[in-house]
Chain A
Amino acid sequence: MATSKTLGESLRQHGVSRRGFLKFCAATASMMALPPSMAPAIAQALEKARRPSVIWLSFQECTGCTESLTRSFSPTVENLIFDVISLDYHHTLQAAAGDAAEHAREQAMNSNAGEYLVVVDGSLPGPKANPGYSTIAGISNYDMLMDTIDGAAAVVAVGTCAAFGGLPKADPNPTGAVSVQDLVKDKPVINVSGCPPVPMVITGVLAQFLTFGTIPELDEYGRPRAFFGQSIHDRCYRRPFYDKGKFAESFDDEGAKAGWCLYRLGCKGPMTYNACATMKWNGGASWPVEAGYPCLGCSEPDFWDAGGFYKALSVPTGSPGDVLLTAGAVGAAVGVGAGLMSRNQGKQAAKHHDKVTADQLEEKL
């Protein structure tokens, strides 16, 4: 059922006009982080593209990645792509379960051997770990992954768990969790990290494979450069305040209200590579920094173990030294001040609903 029609034909069958198709291509270019001048090339490629079969495996995960994808505003360009790609197996989204579901997976593998795309969300117990920590239909995650990727064209690891181990792998890693790239060595692995990833980034990567049949250019962590090529910090609209040394020191001070940089409140933007600052969340409505909350660094390896969310990065990167010196000095002074505030005072503050500093918040966690 998968590869019979081209995408262009399917879209027209869905009642999409040529102008609609142009719009689709414009939005797809935007979604793939390609310049709008690429829209005609996308249109051409899409006219000819065959529908690839996609097998989606969910291992040790919270379903946040699938939620991110399916809760993206609908019906959208992304959904259209999913209507026309053939999602042959997805634990969470399919109606079938157990043997019937596994049968669908095997059938998709056999009839599309060498061509299908495997999408994985979640990490999995490694070959030396107890396989009983995570099984599906009595099959260990490890066996299922190795069996499924055998005839795959490529593997897309969606979310920080699949890409880098994520929460399951966080210290002390009770289930012996590993990432997909730890196990898959003989197929291209594309890491789409994030906890969860921006939905448009997930679909953008899938759309690129669907459109051009190629693996995008990847960074040293196996992430597509088009989306992960620049740091949050480099694309952050609050960057001018960082450069001027204007920092919010608590979540409700005047600086926070004026929209100053959140570096002192623990923003991990300078070491985090992701597309949030431009693609944003909830259909482009906003993103954490715009909502006044520091970036947690969720698309980076081992971010759960990378220190407190509200602790300022100790070694700031990519900024003029003199500004940083000032920032550091101010930071140290504030740190001491906050430290001097007694626990008792903190409790009283809580009772009266007074201001709480980032350091106090950190202390409570």
Chain B
Amino acid sequence: MAQLANIPIRIEQPEAEPQQFGNALPILNEIRHALARFAESAEPTRIDLAAMPFGPGDEEHLMALLGRGEVEATIDALGPTRVWETRFPGVWVLDYANVEGERIALQIEVDEIPQMLRTQRADITDSLTALDAALASATAADPAAESRH
């Protein structure tokens, strides 16, 4: 086992710039086009980053360029989806993970608010029914409710 120590190990400088393969800037350009389109005609765009030929470091570089903005949210459905607005308002990142926390998709969405964050109409209808039921049972259980009628 003494020989194990002979295997040379090279430690990257932690402060060194991450390695880059130049695939972040074209995406940033695509985002710019999408943002211009939204500014002009309010047409939203979604970009699937899984379809991009990223090398190690490219995604980090893109994310560093986009930065973080004011809004951050987590959606708990089929595992967590982390959503944040970048430092460019209207440019959102959606990081979809499964219940084990492994990423299943990564998207950029250019919109006022990402589709996933909006409450769907059908859910609002269901919600009304659920709230009615909750109200009915709460009223039935409340002794003071009778006198208020």
Complex Cα spacing A259 to B96, Å: 29
Complex Cα spacing A76 to B122, Å: 25
- Known A-B contacts A16-B78, A17-B77, A27-B96; A237 and B46 likewise in contact (beta carbons under 8 Å): no
What is the chain B residue whose CB lies nearest that of A11? Answer: B78
Is A20 part of the binding interface, using a Cβ–Cβ cutoff of 8 Å? yes
**Taking chain B's interface residues, is the majority helix, strand, or loop, or is none over half, making it mixed?**
mixed
* A290 x B56 contact (CB < 8 A): yes
The one of B47, B48, B55 in contact with A259, judged by C-beta atoms closer than 8 angstroms, is B55
Is A311 part of the binding interface, using a Cβ–Cβ cutoff of 8 Å? no
Complex Cα spacing A19 to B123, Å: 9
CB neighbours of A235 from chain B (8 A): 53
The stretch of A30-38, A153-161, A178-186 in contact with B is: A30-38
CB neighbours of A27 from chain B (8 A): 96, 104-105
Complex Cα spacing A77 to B96, Å: 11
Instruction: Convert A1-41 into 0s and 1s, putting 1 for each residue whose CB lies closer than 8 angstroms to a CB of B.
Output: 00000000000000011111011101101100101110100
* A23 x B55 contact (CB < 8 A): no
How many A residues, CB 8 Å from partner? Answer: 36
The one of B54, B58, B78 in contact with A23, judged by C-beta atoms closer than 8 angstroms, is B78
* B53 x A277 contact (CB < 8 A): yes
Is B132 part of the binding interface, using a Cβ–Cβ cutoff of 8 Å? no
Is B139 part of the binding interface, using a Cβ–Cβ cutoff of 8 Å? no
Is A75 part of the binding interface, using a Cβ–Cβ cutoff of 8 Å? yes
Is B129 part of the binding interface, using a Cβ–Cβ cutoff of 8 Å? no
What is the chain A residue whose CB lies nearest that of B117? Answer: A19
CB neighbours of B22 from chain A (8 A): 240
CB neighbours of B120 from chain A (8 A): 18-19, 22
**Taking chain A's interface residues, is the majority helix, strand, or loop, or is none over half, making it mixed?**
helix
CB neighbours of A237 from chain B (8 A): 21, 23, 53-55, 58
CB neighbours of A239 from chain B (8 A): 53
CB neighbours of B104 from chain A (8 A): 27, 30, 76-77
* A20 x B77 contact (CB < 8 A): yes
* B48 x A30 contact (CB < 8 A): yes
Distance to closest chain A CB from B87 (angstroms): 22
Is A339 part of the binding interface, using a Cβ–Cβ cutoff of 8 Å? no
Complex Cα spacing A58 to B58, Å: 40
Complex Cα spacing A277 to B21, Å: 14
Distance to closest chain A CB from B116 (angstroms): 6
* A73 x B51 contact (CB < 8 A): no
What is the chain B residue whose CB lies nearest that of A24? Answer: B78
* A284 x B50 contact (CB < 8 A): yes
CB neighbours of B23 from chain A (8 A): 237
* A23 x B50 contact (CB < 8 A): no
* A19 x B77 contact (CB < 8 A): yes
* A36 x B98 contact (CB < 8 A): no
* A278 x B103 contact (CB < 8 A): no
CB neighbours of A73 from chain B (8 A): 98, 100, 102
A35-80 residues with Cβ-Cβ distance < 8 A to B are 35-37, 39, 73-77, 80
Is A264 part of the binding interface, using a Cβ–Cβ cutoff of 8 Å? no
Complex Cα spacing A54 to B36, Å: 46
A interface list, Cβ under 8 A from B? 16-20, 22-24, 26-27, 29-30, 33, 35-37, 39, 73-77, 80, 235-240, 259, 277-279, 283-284, 290
The 6 closest A-B pairs by CB, nearest first: A237-B55, A36-B46, A20-B77, A20-B78, A19-B77, A235-B53
Some 7 contacts from A to B, beta carbons below 8 A apart, are A20-B77, A23-B116, A30-B107, A36-B107, A237-B53, A237-B58, A290-B56
B interface list, Cβ under 8 A from A? 19, 21-23, 45-48, 50-56, 58, 75, 77-78, 81, 94, 96, 98-100, 102-105, 107, 109, 115-116, 120, 122-123
